[in-house]
């Protein structure tokens, strides 16, 4: 798994459509790394509330596999991210044109128009390419980076977050990771470690909860498409732990992928085989999804800094000192 960012921050002051201020970007996720993008992965998805976009979702629902990388950006740049991904695959993805190749890339979005000149269409093909060029394995930056640059979560600065768990199954150890682009929630809903943190923080009337979240779960455990769909559903329980209610106008869309079984999605004319975890043993993976998604959301909040965007709109970072005081009050932290 490799993740890359292109972060776009420029300008300040009043909004001038087409000029800025710009607070946006692109996140690129390559399930098998850039060198392995031509090898599909088994996949499954779930929409908790569908006021959002994830292109390619219908074919994944039908076929049970994902045939390329994933991009995440702002709502009005989802199309360019999808189309640029196709060009990137043609130019860099090891595509076999002798097989009448075609692609339906996955591009997902959440809305950053409160901070960003979203109608200025600042994301270009080159920015999508830059995110792919930046993709790498290992620890990644979180917060106001990539597609998460202009996002707001529980009325604090939100954005990109990730977390992982190790799971023991049948004597083997597997890794499960979650990546979120968090852009949802009212302040009074925010819950951390079971503590109603948001109720103890100063409130402001910012209107109804109209945000969204994209969640991507990836594991090296061998799972079949229907099992991955079941993992994707558990993302909703993860965001519920942090206080979310999946409001009427939100887009809460999730995908789970497995990097195992690299040779199982093969060309026609041959019998394929795949390893898989028995359904009866999936519960530890369900628990890992819930924990990792919850933690990824908290990480997106905790690592962030206050940001000022279009028209001087300022979104505060989650106050660390006050958060620790509240957690101590509920005996979640020692003095």
Whether the CA torsion 184, 251, 238, 161 is positive or negative: it is: negative
Cβ-contact 42, 223 below 8 angstroms: yes
- 3-state secondary structure string across 130-175: HHHHHCECCCCCCECCHHHCCCEECCEECEEEEEEEEEEECCEEEE
- DSSP assignment letter at 189: G
Question: 70-74 and 106-110 as β-strands: parallel, antiparallel, unpaired?
Answer: parallel
The set of catalytic residues is: 212, 250, 252
For residue 9, the cross-strand partners are 23
Q: Name the burial class of residue 321, with classes exposed (0-12), middle (13-18) and buried (19+) by CB atoms within 10 angstroms of its CB.
A: exposed
Cβ-contact 45, 54 below 8 angstroms: yes
Cβ-contact 174, 332 below 8 angstroms: no
Q: Which two tokens stand for residue 206?
A: 């910012």
């Amino acid at each position: 798994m490799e993740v890359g960012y292109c972060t776009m921050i420029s300008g300040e002051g009043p909004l001038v459509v087409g000029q800025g201020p710009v607070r946006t970007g692109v996140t690129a996720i390559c399930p098998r790394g850039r060198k392995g993008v031509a090898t599909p992965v088994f996949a499954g998805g779930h929409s908790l509330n569908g006021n959002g976009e994830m292109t390619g979702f219908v074919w994944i629902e039908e076929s049970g596999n994902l045939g390329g990388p994933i991009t995440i950006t702002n709502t009005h740049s989802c199309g360019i991210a999808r189309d640029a991904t196709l060009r990137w695959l043609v130019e860099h993805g090891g595509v076999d044109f002798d097989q009448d190749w075609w692609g339906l890339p996955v591009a997902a979005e959440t809305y950053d128009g409160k901070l960003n000149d979203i109608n200025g269409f600042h994301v270009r093909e080159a920015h999508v390419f830059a995110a792919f060029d930046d993709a790498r394995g290992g620890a990644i930056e979180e917060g106001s980076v990539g597609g998460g640059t202009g996002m707001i979560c529980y009325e604090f600065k939100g954005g990109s977050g990730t977390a992982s768990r190790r799971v023991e199954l049948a004597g083997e150890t597997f890794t499960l990771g979650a990546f979120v682009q968090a852009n949802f929630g009212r302040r009074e809903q925010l819950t951390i470690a079971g503590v109603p943190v948001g109720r103890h923080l100063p409130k402001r009337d910012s209107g109804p909860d109209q945000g969204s979240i994209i969640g991507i779960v990836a594991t090296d455990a061998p799972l079949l498409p229907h099992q991955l769909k079941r993992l994707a559903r558990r993302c909703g329980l993860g965001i519920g732990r942090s206080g979310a209610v999946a409001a009427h106008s939100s887009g809460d869309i999730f995908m789970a992928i497995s990097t195992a079984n690299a040779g199982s999605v093969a060309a026609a004319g041959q019998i394929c085989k795949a390893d898989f975890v028995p359904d009866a043993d999936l519960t530890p993976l369900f628990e890992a999804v819930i924990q990792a998604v919850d933690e990824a959301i908290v990480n997106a909040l905790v690592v962030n800094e206050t940001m000022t965007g279009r028209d001087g709109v300022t979104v505060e970072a989650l106050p660390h000192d006050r958060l620790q005081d509240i957690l101590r009050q509920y005996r979640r932290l020692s003095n």
